[in-house]
Amino acid sequence: MRRILLVVLAVTLVLAGCTEKPGEKGGDGKRPAEANGIPTSAGTHKQKMDVGTFGHREFLLHVPSKVSGGDWEDGKPADPPALVIALHGGLATMGKMQDLTGFDKLSDEHGFLVAYPDGFMTTWNAGDCCGAAKVGNIDDVGFLTKLIDKITGAGLADPKRVYVTGFSNGAGMAYRMACEKPDKVAAIGVVEGALVTHCDPGRPVSAMIFHGTADGSVPFNGGGHRDFNDRRPFPPVSKAVDFWRKVAGLPAPTERVKALGDTTSCESTGKGDQGVAVTFCKIQGGTHQWPDEAAPMLWNFFSSHPRNGT
């Protein structure tokens, strides 16, 4: 009996020595449980991030199974995927943006990461808009830059394939990121938003812009009020289209692009010498809402526009 107990004890010790500890490599022998404190398992993970101010900022990170179960080297994906950052509209949240867009399904199909950050009191400081974030002069550019650096610095995403998209106030924030951090952003996707910030980028950024002709909140031809305390009108969407193509030295968009929605028509400038393009999608009769076709069309655009150079 004593001999049997000794054998059982010896086997138990051997198995205990083989058991993984938190933070060690996963079951495939290559994938760690975390990278730079970020979970690598498939699914959506709620994360908190210190931004050097009182409190913290939060974001959701959706990791597709293709990344979490793919080839890893030295605790990082051997071929880092793209990262899409999706910014919610005013008076919304990161969870609502996740539900609204359908990016999770595309992420799982194509193997890219999606981050859904939370704005400050449901708003983003997009320049002249909007709400609490603007009034409080919140450094949302700094927050999103740290978010990008955290994920790409962990080796979980390709720094040359970081894309920022947004809806309404979040779309305005996407513009601001391209204006102030063009070295971090390969392309932006703007849905029912306006360029309402000083913009002098040091390099061109690819842009895909969706806007409905019947948008009553951010009017297609300009108008309305930029914010509750700023009665200046929004500029027309054509101003932003012209701005980004001129930065890249591109012609007016005339090349027809296949659209998924029956009421959506898209035209592109085509790629210029720097691989940059601007595509404008007009939604006939479209109101202030996220179109069903936006996410798949944006991913098709993003995937063909990595950032060139350093």
pLDDT in tens, 12-44: 433 333 333 333 344 344 778 899 899 999 999
| pLDDT in the model for residue 37 | 92
Of 1-5, 220-224, 286-290, where does mean pLDDT reach its minimum?
1-5
Alpha carbons 19 and 15: distance in angstroms, whole number? 6
Query: pLDDT averaged over the chain?
Result: 90
Between the CA of residue 290 and those of 185, 259, 277, what are the distances in Å? Answer: 22, 15, 22
pLDDT-derived band of residue 70, with 50, 70 and 90 as boundaries? low
- For tokens 């812009």, name the residue: 209
CA angle 298, 214, 106 (to 5 degrees): 20
Pairing of strands 38-39, 34-35: antiparallel
Alpha carbons 144 and 139: distance in angstroms, whole number? 9
Between the CA of residue 263 and those of 103, 201, 258, 259, 278, what are the distances in Å? Answer: 21, 33, 12, 9, 20
Q: Per the structure block, which two tokens stand in for 194?
A: 């306006």
Side-chain half-sphere exposure of 210, counting CA atoms within 13 A: 31
Alpha carbons 56 and 253: distance in angstroms, whole number? 41
| pLDDT in the model for residue 71 | 79
114-143: pLDDT as tens digits:
999 999 999 999 999 999 999 999 999 999
Alpha carbons 117 and 241: distance in angstroms, whole number? 26
Using a 10 angstrom Cβ sphere, with 0-12 exposed, 13-18 middle and 19 or more buried, the burial of residue 224 is: middle
Where in 127-254 does DSSP place strands (E)?
162-167, 187-191, 206-212
Of 50-54, 81-85, 232-236, where does mean pLDDT reach its minimum?
50-54
For the chain, domains (ranges, CATH) are 36-303 (3.40.50.1820)
Q: Per the structure block, which two tokens stand in for 52?
A: 């050097």
pTM confidence score: 0.90
| pLDDT in the model for residue 242 | 98
